[in-house]
Amino acid sequence: MEPFKDMATFLKESRIAKALSDKTKVCESQVRMFWKSVRYEESENTIYSAIQKKDENDKDVDIEVKFIVVDIRRVLDLRDSDDDPIIVPERLCKGLRFRMGFSAHVNDKYLNSKFCRPYKFLVRCVVHALLHRKGAYGEMSDCIMNIITCLVLNRPYDISQVLFDHMIDNIKGEKIHYVSKIHSDAVK
């Protein structure tokens, strides 16, 4: 049980502690309304949506909300910055996987079941706290492995930007490929 106590302490002290422990209650209807009315303005790099709120006469009114990356950073207290990277070298992630007890081939998918038990717990916590998923919690994406790598190694990483990019991805219905971003930035 000791490794889990150590992992719980690590998570309480990590920069994602607020995202893991925040107890703000949000109604499913509010989430549905948010995603139904959401739009992204690329020129402003801002997400707009609507939520319902009771006014002073106890009537439901729609209120437009807008937010940017800084708002995610502030609300979740992720202790990151715009200067932090959103890409982690692949060799760093692969090396850390084995330090975390990963029991599969170096080029296999990031499967939660292949890590030792305390790190399975870490992975599950990160996935549940930071991803919008309806299932498939056993397989991690590269961005989640990047977040875990930077948390474990205490390296800077712009989690807020990654979350914001994934929200935009959700809005547009597209997949973001950070590797493509690296290559296009390198060419410029």
pLDDT tens digit sequence for 74-121:
999 999 999 999 999 988 988 888 888 888 776 677 777 778 788 888
- The answer for 63, left when phi > 0, alpha when psi is -120 to 50, beta otherwise, is beta
Residue 181 contacts residue 99 (beta carbons within 8 Å): no
Give the pLDDT confidence of 32-87 residue by residue, as tens digits: 888 899 999 999 999 999 988 888 999 989 899 999 999 999 999 999 999 999 99
Give the bridge partners for 67, in sequence order: 47
Residue 69 confidence (pLDDT):
96
Question: Both ends of the chain: CA-CA distance in Å?
Answer: 51
Q: What is the mean pLDDT of the chain?
A: 83
Tokens of 115: 């890590």
The pLDDT score that the predictor gives to residue 23 is 84
| pLDDT(1) > 80 | no
Residue 49 DSSP one-character state: E
Cα→Cα distances 85→82, 112, 160, Å: 8, 24, 11
